Structure 1
Amino acid sequence: MTSQPAPKKASNASRWRAAKRRKNTDGSMSLVEHLRELRRRVIISLLAFIGGTILGFIWYQTTLPGIPALGFRSIPSLGDILREPYCALPPASRADFSFDGECRLLATGPFEMFMLRLKVGALAGSVISSPVWLYQIWAFITPGLHKNERKWTFSFVTIAVILFLIGAALAYTVVHFGLAFLLTIGDQVQTTALTGHAYFGFLLALLVIFGVSFEVPLIIAMLNIVGIIEYENIKEKRRMIIVVLFIFAAFMTPGGDPFSMTVLACALTALVEIAMQFCRLNDKRRKRQRPDWLDLDDDQASTLGPDEVAAASAPIPRPEPINPSAAPVMPTRPIPTAPPSPSPAPRNQPVNPQTPPAPGAFGGPQGPDFSDVL
């Protein structure tokens, strides 16, 4: 007797493909399936973030080679890129502890350099892996959105990422001027020796504040699209909005220098003005698509437009005569007739008390009979 071979155990990949085929065609999922989908998206995002952090940790002190044949030059190390605004200051404005002319930051603890490199590498890793985790977020929320909602969500996410990068790039450009003001304001009395923790904390805070602040006009546009903010309500408050933006920039810039504050406030003022013009155009487009009579009160009469006035003043056409032969013939039903009344009982006939009187004897439709009296 020959033994049957044992069935092969299905692999994880085959089970995942089988589970994927068993999904409903309409995209509906149970709570457990949603949690499994969320877990898978989070794991993929974490793996991409860890890989990007490792690359950022290596890039912190490594110059990336370029491709001269394609015109790509070598990329400086991440530490040199972030240290460039500080090293661009005059040598007399910064302390030199190595006595070799190199621009270096100061470390005051044994683990400070390692933790600083890890922090900068994690920040670079989040930027490098952003296409992966942004796609995972998009793929998780897309099945629950309609077609127009997917279009708007994709547009807003793309614009938000672009605005954040523009704000961070502007902050990196102006940080040199802010440091030049802050570190040279008393250079005749003292020399600044910045630690890596203090300098990178200042630089990263400025990058994040500029990037997040550039999302304000996008929030205004979103509120206008959903109908919370209208252009008519904010157009008269421009001066107040500008004052609030300058106060916000004064409190949020980490260095407190007037140059960074002015650049951030002016950039936000320009972006908010662009957002307000978008609100004006969007309200005008919405008003064209929505008739005016929908905005009137229930007891208020609507005004007639030119087309309605012309239609109301037009003469009423003469009605055409009805052709009797073409008129439909209605079916007729026979009219019910009343049953014949019974003949009256003969005179001087004894009335049987058990039998009811005949109709018309004492009353009824014909009334009482008084012929014997007359």
Structure 2
Amino acid sequence: MPLRAHIAELRRRVLLAFAGIAVGAVVGWFLYTPVYEFLQQPVLDLAERDDALVTVNFGGLASALDMQLKVSLVLGAILTAPWWLYHLWAFVAPGLKDREKRYTFAFLAAAVPLFFGGVVFAAFILPQAVDILVGFTPDGAANVLDAQMYLTFSVRMLLAFGIAFVFPVVMVALTWIGLVGARTWLRGWRWAMIIIALAAAVLTPTPDGVMMVLMALPMVLLYFLAVGIAALRQAAVRRRLRRAGAEADA
């Protein structure tokens, strides 16, 4: 496919992906209230437990509306993950062989559960993260959290963990279609650790080290899990080739 056709295909896939996210954002608008209550609950629990003034505050007249729009957009991206993950793969698929294009279902079957698994994991550790970060407030001081900051922190955390959990599937997919070998992934583990640390620093909503570590640790584990799966795949291919060669010789 020529370069101009690649650019046109990329533009088409991006537009389709954003159209799906826009539709998801409409659904996210109606889900905003229960999601807001869920995200606010760790703050309420912390205030009740410690009998302290810890609350979420909307500082401006239009802050609540602006925040609902932003949260709805992120919820749209989360809800429509299968849609834009499909278009991510569909952009790569034209360069694959017919046999390799059949891996589309396998890619989505692995990527979608991992994405939502990352979102669930982020939702699980959110109360612990809030507890740790608010715990640095000095005794006798109040912690009035800006709603823009807190809700942006929370929803970006959900989305960031979802995206981070998909990366190992991309690794396995590249090995599956023969572009990158398992030994190459393993030899580059030092560079991978650096890239994971940088990705954790970029994806985490706050610059504190606690959130970076919480994101980087599962990414490291998933990286080596992906290397193991890639190695098993290559070993199976080698066994099949040796068996085919032995049958041909016979």
- TM-score with structure 2 length normalisation? 0.73
Question: In the alignment, what sits opposite 1:255?
Answer: 206
Shift of the alpha carbon at 1:55? 3.5
Indicate which of 270, 282, 286 corresponds to 2:221.
270
Change (3 A) 1:60 1:208: closer
1:199 corresponds, among 150, 153, 177, to 150
Looking at structure 1, the residues matched to 69 and 134 of structure 2 have their Cα atoms a distance apart, in angstroms, of 27
1:210/1:264 contact within 8 Å kept = yes
Distance 1:229 1:136 in 2: 21
CA 1:216 to 1:175, structure 2 compared with 1: closer, same or farther past 3 Å? same
Question: Equivalent residue for 1:190?
Answer: 141
Q: Answer yes or no: is the 8 Å Cα contact 1:178–1:255 preserved in 2.
A: no
- Offset of 1:109 from its aligned partner? 1.4
Matched residues in 1 for 2:43 and 2:157: separation? 14
Of 144, 148, 154, the residue aligned with 2:105 is 154
Partner of 1:90: 47
Give the one of 228, 235, 238 matched to 1:284.
235
TM-score, normalised to structure 1, is: 0.52
**Where do residues 13-32 of structure 1 align in structure 2 (5 Å cutoff)?**
none
Contact 2:46/2:131 (CA < 8 Å) preserved in 1? yes
- Matches of 2:51 and 2:163 in 1, distance apart? 31
Give the drift of 1:177: 1.4
Give, as a single letter, the amino acid of the residue that structure 1 aligns with 2:53.
A
Larger CA deviation: 260-269 vs 240-249: 240-249
Question: Relative to structure 1, is the Cα distance of residues 188 and 243 closer, same or farther in structure 2, using a 3 angstrom cutoff?
Answer: same
Residue correspondence of structure 1 range 331-346 to structure 2 within 5 A: none
Q: Secondary structure at the match of 2:143?
A: coil
What is the number of equivalent residue pairs in this alignment? 235
The match for 1:231 is 182
Query: 2 CA distance for matches of 1:255 and 1:164?
Result: 21
8 Å Cα contact 1:165-1:211 kept in structure 2: yes
Q: CA deviation at 1:78?
A: 2.1
Alignment check: 8 A CA contact 2:114 2:165 kept: yes
Call closer, same or farther: CA 1:208–1:56 in 2, change over 3 Å: closer
Q: 1:175 aligns with which of 109, 126, 131?
A: 126
Q: Shift in Å at residue 79 of structure 1? A: 1.5
* Number of the residue aligned with 2:30: 58
Separation of aligned partners in 1, 2:86 and 2:219? 31
Larger RCO (CA under 8 A, 6+ residues apart): 2
Counting helix residues as a fraction of each chain, which structure ranks higher? Answer: 2
The structure 1 residue matched to 2:171, chosen from 220, 240, 246, is 220
The SS at the match of 2:57 is coil
Pair 163,143 (structure 1): closer, same or farther in 2 beyond 3 Å: closer
Distance 1:128 1:166, change over 3 A: closer
Give the whole-Å Cα distance in 2 for the aligned partners of 1:276 and 1:135: 21
CA distance 1:127–1:234, change in 2 (3 Å): closer
CA distance in 2, matches of 1:130, 1:279: 24
CA distance in 2, matches of 1:152, 1:176: 38
What are the Cα deviations for residues 228-260 of structure 1, in whole angstroms up to 9, with x where unaligned? 332334445556645654565356433344543
Query: What SS does the aligned partner of 2:144 have?
Result: coil
CA–CA distance in 2 between the matches of 1:234 and 1:211? 22
Deviations 1:34-85 (A, max 9, x none): 99xx69x949x84x65554334323323xxxxxxxxxxxxxxx222122222
Tell me by how many angstroms 1:289 deviates. 3.7
2:112 partner amino acid: V
1:79 matches 2:36: yes
Q: Secondary structure at the match of 1:60?
A: helix
| Structure 2, unaligned runs of 5 or more | none
Q: Deviations over 1:283-311 (max 9, x none)?
A: 212223446xx9xxxxxxxxxx9x98xx9
Distance between the aligned counterparts of 1:228 and 1:42, measured in 2?
27
Provide closer, same or farther for how the CA distance between residues 87 and 220 of structure 1 changes in structure 2, counting only shifts above 3 A. same
Is the Cα contact below 8 Å between 1:217 and 1:271 reproduced in 2?
yes
Shift of 1:171: 1.2
**Aligned pairs (5 A) from 1:107-122:** 107-122=58-73
Alpha-carbon contact 1:164-1:211 (below 8 Å) kept: yes
Deviation at 1:151, TM superposition (A): 2.3
Q: Does the 8 Å CA contact 2:169/2:226 hold for their aligned counterparts? A: yes
SS at match of 1:88: helix
